[in-house]
Each structure stands twice: as C-alpha cells, then as structure tokens.
Amino acid sequence: METIEFTPTVEQYGWTFGGTAPIRRVRPGTVLKLWTDDAFSGKLRGTADRASRLLDARYTNPQTGPFYVEGAEPGDTLALHFVSIEAARDWGVSTTMPLFGGLTGTTRTATLQEPLPELTWLYEIDSGKRTVTFAAVESEHRLVLPLDPMLGTVGVAPERGEVRSTAVPDTYGGNMDTPEMRAGATCYLGVNVAGALFSIGDGHARQGEGESCGTAVETAMNVTMIVELIKGGAPAWPRIEDDEYLMVVGSGRPLDDAWRVAQVELIGWLGGLLGMGKMDTYQLVTQISRSPIANMVDPNFSAVVKVAKEFLPDVPAYDGMHRHLRGLAAGL
C-alpha cells in the first residue's frame, strides 16, 4: 500500500475547514502517517501559561491537512480509518478560558457574571503504561487515569462554499470532540467539494463525555490512517463505525437538536441496512440506542447515538468497508 508521511510546519497548519488549498493529493487506499499539533499549537507548556496571553484567538486548533482525495466528488462518501492514534509527547495540557466551556456563561450564552478564573493543568502521559496523570493546581491531589487517545477534530470542506473555523463541528464533521474517534474506528463523511479536502487534528490523551470545561487533555499525536472512497451514498451527518458499534455524530444547538439529527440519521441508516420501515426502526432504536454526549462547549454541541452491532443481524454497513479496513490495518 502506498504510504505518505507528513508533518506540517507551523506555516502549513490549517485553521479552517474549506478555504484552504490542499497540502497533498492522496489516492484512495493510501496509508497516511501524520503528526498533529495540539489545540494550542504547543504553546501551553506549564501550569503558569495562559491561553489569553500566549494565543491569538484566530489561531487555535490547528489541523493537519487538507488532503485532496483523488476521485472524490460531491455526494461521495469518504471513509477514514484510524489505525493508530498515539501521543507524540509525554505531556498534555488542559485549561479553562474566560467565557468558554460548558459550565460558564460564554460569548453565546451571555451572562453578566464575572468569568471563571483562567487556569492551566499539566498531565503526564505514559504511553507505555497507558496512563495519564491528573495533578490538581489548587491542592496536592493526583489521580492516575487510563490513557484513551482520540482526535477531537476530523472533517471535510463544508457545503455551500462555506469556510468554518476549526472550533466548529457540523454536518461536515469538524470539532466534534467525541472520544469515539479513537484507533480502530472508521469515520464516514459526506463529500461536498471535489477532492473532499479533509483535515484532522485536536488530539486528546483522554476526554470525558461533554468535555465540560472546554478542553480535554490536549496533546500532539502521531496518527496512522487509511483513506478510502465510496462512490455516492454521502451521509447527511458524520458516521463512525468500530468493531462494536454503528454511530452517528450530530451537532447543533441546543443539544436537543444535535441528538435529534443523529437519531434521524441513525434511523435512516439502520432502516436501510435492515430493510425495515421508518416506524419500526424508530421503535427499535428507542430500545437499543446509546446516547453519550460528545461536547457541550463548542459553537455547536455534539451528541453521539450508537447501536451495538451484536444486537443486529449481519448486515455490513457500506458493504463491509470497516471490516475491509480493519484487515488492511492488521497487515500494516
């Protein structure tokens, strides 16, 4: 298999979905070995560092990409399989930022209260022991947590000629911030423009569901992935498949709407796979879907809905694309 390795320079970082020229062209079937910087471009390195001083708000959450996928046309389905996502540093960082996060008034849910304090936490990452260690900044508490690396941001160029900040999740993917985007998962995205123009970034050593304070354990990542293309069949919302689950990630405000679009998309997907009508699928999904919140902090909130494949007859999605990619990955 063709393999491309790529580490962007700071000048090559992508700050938007859409609106950027492709950095490489890749053929379907290509293996990519990419490096992604953390959401702060590596500028927060100690508990005394503050985003408000060190970062330009216009330049957060740098992406690696975009990549032009040969043959991808509007209406097609891009399949991105993550073979491995591994921390490229032995530390990660998280921070509260004024008027950003799930449990504070924000620039969108505006209040007159004083902002929460801006604080920074540094985490030790031990990729060998598979741990990430939390250290409190106001006391001496330390807690050793399991490492669970993932990508917060995976997306393509939006439709209707829009260009969106890498802070935003929407129909085109983007900053969905779901822990389901881990190694072993395949992400399906609808193609809106020729070449799809996908990017990835925003690695998290681990993240709770909801990403309450607004930032996870942010770190640089080494990502190995396989790019595939399915002609036609573009989903309305990002889908994820792993060995256990079929998933949809909806984004919107309020969270109700993120959940609704994900449910409707899942019902359409599952009904098609099972050859079952809308109302019966609605009923089935009612009893079997799981609904973990992804993020409650970005300009759109994101909700995952998922169904266990073990509950379903063997009706492989996309003609078994995920199984095929798992096989390829095993051979790398």
Q: What are phi and psi of 68, to 5 degrees?
A: -95, 120
127 near a copy of itself, rule: CB under 8 A = no
143 near a copy of itself, rule: CB under 8 A = yes
Q: Which of 80, 93, 200, 217 binds a copy of itself (CB under 8 A)?
A: 217
Map residue 261 onto helix, strand or coil.
helix
Q: Which of residues 230-259 bind a copy of itself (CB under 8 A)?
A: 236, 252-257, 259
Applying CB under 8 A, which part among 226-234, 241-249, 261-269, 316-324 lies near a copy of itself? 261-269
Q: Which of residues 42-71 bind a copy of itself (CB under 8 A)?
A: 57-58
221 near a copy of itself, rule: CB under 8 A = no
Q: From the centroid of its chain, how far is CA 8? A: 19
Q: Which of 77, 153, 199, 215 binds a copy of itself (CB under 8 A)?
A: 215
Stretch 268-307: interaction string toward a copy of itself, x if CB under 8 A? ------xxxxxxx-xxxxxxxxxxxx--x----x-x-x--
Question: Least separation, in Å, of the C-beta of 249 and a copy of itself?
Answer: 14
Residue 20 near residue 156 (C-beta atoms within 8 A)? no
Q: Which is nearer to a copy of itself, 228 or 298 (CB)?
A: 298
Q: Which is nearer to a copy of itself, 145 or 328 (CB)?
A: 145
1 burial (CB, 10 Å; 0-12 / 13-18 / 19+) is exposed
210 near a copy of itself, rule: CB under 8 A = yes
Question: Least separation, in Å, of the C-beta of 195 and a copy of itself?
Answer: 18
Q: Which of residues 9-38 bind a copy of itself (CB under 8 A)?
A: 15-16, 18-19
φ/ψ region of 195 (left if φ > 0, alpha if ψ in -120 to 50, else beta) reads left
Whole-angstrom Cα distance, residue 192 to residue 161?
A: 9
Encoding tokens for residue 266?
């899942």
124 near a copy of itself, rule: CB under 8 A = no
Q: State the Cα torsion 43-46-48-49 to the nearest 10°.
A: 10
From 43, 229, 238, 46, select the one nearest 155 (Cα to Cα).
Answer: 238
Applying CB under 8 A, which part among 5-13, 40-48, 78-86, 137-145 lies near a copy of itself? 137-145
Q: Half-sphere exposure (CA, 13 Å, Cβ side) for 79?
A: 27
114 burial (CB, 10 Å; 0-12 / 13-18 / 19+) is exposed
260 near a copy of itself, rule: CB under 8 A = yes
Q: Which of residues 93-122 bind a copy of itself (CB under 8 A)?
A: 94, 96, 102-105, 107-117, 119, 121
137 near a copy of itself, rule: CB under 8 A = yes
Q: Binding residues for a copy of itself, how many (CB under 8 A)? A: 93
Q: 35: how many CB neighbours lie within 10 A of its CB?
A: 15
